[in-house]
Amino acid sequence: MTIGKYKVEATDGTARAGTLSTAHGEIQTPIFMPVGTKATVKAMSSHELEDIGSQVILGNTYHLHLRPGEELIQEMGGLHKFMSWNKPILTDSGGFQVFSLSSLNKLTEEGVTFNSHLDGSKLFISPEKSMEIQMALGSDIIMAFDECLKYPATDKQIEDSIALTYRWLKRCKERMNRPESLLFGIVQGGLSLKYRMQSLEQICSVDLPGYALGGFSIGEPPEMMHELLPEVAPKMPKDKPRYLMGVGTPKDIIIAIDSGIDMFDCVMPTRNARNGTLFTWSGKVSIKRLQYAKDPRPLDENCACYTCKNYSRSYLRHLFMSDEILGARLNTYHNLFFYLDITRKAREAIKNGTWNDFRDQCLTQFSKKDSDS
């Protein structure tokens, strides 16, 4: 196994199935990556993550830098050991949170000064600092430190921003000196095809083991992304994994896979689970609705997860109404299993040459709401 090698094993149209080798094992794509913000995927144990077929999880550099700090995690043997997870970990660069969570952030060529959202203390992150934090965490896949523009942005803002992101990427690569970690570059460019292509050309001119699309799902109408993806994704290097950051709904994921994207992360399945919004193969279910009070059926009769095999909608509703931790657990377990099931089944369909049928079925089913069921 060569660390960083990506092998495309099958294609169906522009959709791809492949395998990425990392220092903590292989990742079979397309793949959804559960988000473990603060060294824990909320409500899940690391062994449950394995049980549902997670192959790689995400850690948030910004949150871990603030608490408990990368030095502590490094001293405890790295993020894998700290959270008892022995498969691949991808860390983001911290950039997204610096721009969205912290107050008073100030951007210069050198990096970003910001105030911690926890205690207001003044902090600084640069491309170099982001690399140092992620290397200290022991991450398998390290994301470049980029500027995350808000939506909407002017052409001038986008132009300046992609230029800065390009310069920062070169500094990231320069600073990286951990052979076990893979650095992924991030294509920005807002919702403009022109600037997306310009950024893509710049970012992909730097030889890296993988490339991502950033700056989507930040408040724009979803159709804008759905229209851009088929134009942009297929232009990314074919022999490298393609990661669409922070996306999205089940429908978004199907459309992105169709465009040739390989990797996904999103807080939606975990966050929605805690809010009682559950994803099923027959559409969304809002478990608090009275119609489920005496519903003895499993949440999703077509789901093989622990929640669906052992508990009824009636019980899940009761737990949710009673604000019980087990409710958050069972809902999270199901939603993550469902997201992983989508990418697992997508991979099978691509390998079997039945992707178009699978895609169309999914797009029909996923638009249903529980009023239909």
Cite the active site residues.
Answer: 92, 265
- Give the closest residue to 93 by CA, choosing from 30, 175, 197: 175
Query: Which of 293, 352, 353, 356 touches its own copies (CB under 8 A)?
Result: 293
- Burial level of 103, CB count in 10 A (0-12/13-18/19+)? exposed
Q: Which is nearer to its own copies, 126 or 272 (CB)?
A: 272
- Which residue lies nearer to its own copies by CB, 2 or 322? 322
Residue type present at position 290:
L
Binding segment toward its own copies, per CB under 8 A, in 2-10, 73-81, 153-161, 174-182: 73-81
Note the Cα 124 to chain centre separation in Å.
25
Number of residues that bind its own copies (CB under 8 A): 37
Which residues, numbered 177-206, are part of the site for its own copies (CB under 8 A)?
none
- Is 296 exposed, middle or buried (CB count within 10 Å of its CB: 0-12, 13-18, 19+)? exposed
**Is 294 a residue that touches its own copies (CB under 8 A)?**
yes
Residue 175 touching its own copies (CB under 8 A): no
If 0-12 CB within 10 Å is exposed, 13-18 middle and 19+ buried, where does residue 226 land? middle
For residues 312 to 331, the per-residue mask of contacts with its own copies, x marking binding by CB under 8 A and - elsewhere, is x-xx--xx-xx-xxx-xxx-
In angstroms, the Cα distances linking 331 to 159, 257, 305, 307, 373 are: 42, 25, 11, 7, 19
Q: Give the nearest distance from C-beta 81 to its own copies in angstroms.
A: 8
Shortest Å distance, C-beta 85 to its own copies: 10
Of 31-60, binders to its own copies (CB under 8 A) are: 38-40, 42-47
Which CB, 73 or 228, lies closer to its own copies? 73
Left, alpha or beta for 111 (phi > 0: left; psi -120 to 50: alpha)? left
Considering only the stretches 75-83, 121-129, 134-142, 361-369, report the one whose residues sit in contact with its own copies under the rule CB under 8 A.
Answer: 75-83
* Interface region with its own copies, contact rule CB under 8 A, candidates 161-169, 180-188, 235-243, 293-301: 293-301
CA 60 to chain centre: 11
DSSP strand pairing (182-187 vs 210-213): parallel
Among 9, 50, 75, 110, binds its own copies (CB under 8 A): 75
Distance CA 281, CA 313 (A): 15
Q: Work out how close the CB of 268 gets to its own copies at its nearest, in angstroms, rounded to a whole number.
A: 17
> Closest distance between its own copies and the C-beta of residue 340, in Å?
19
**Considering only 68-76, 157-165, 247-255, 347-355, which stretch makes contact with its own copies by CB under 8 A?**
68-76
Q: Indicate the residue type of 178.
A: R
Which residue has 């049980």 as its token pair?
51
Check binding of 86 to its own copies (CB under 8 A).
Answer: no
- C-alpha–C-alpha distance, residues 313 and 222, integer Å: 30
State the nearest-atom distance from the C-beta of 323 to its own copies, in Å: 9
Work out the number of other CB atoms within 10 angstroms of the CB of residue 106.
Answer: 11
Binding stretches for its own copies (CB under 8 A): 38-40, 42-47, 67-68, 72, 75-77, 82-84, 293-294, 296, 306, 310-312, 314-315, 318-319, 321-322, 324-326, 328-330
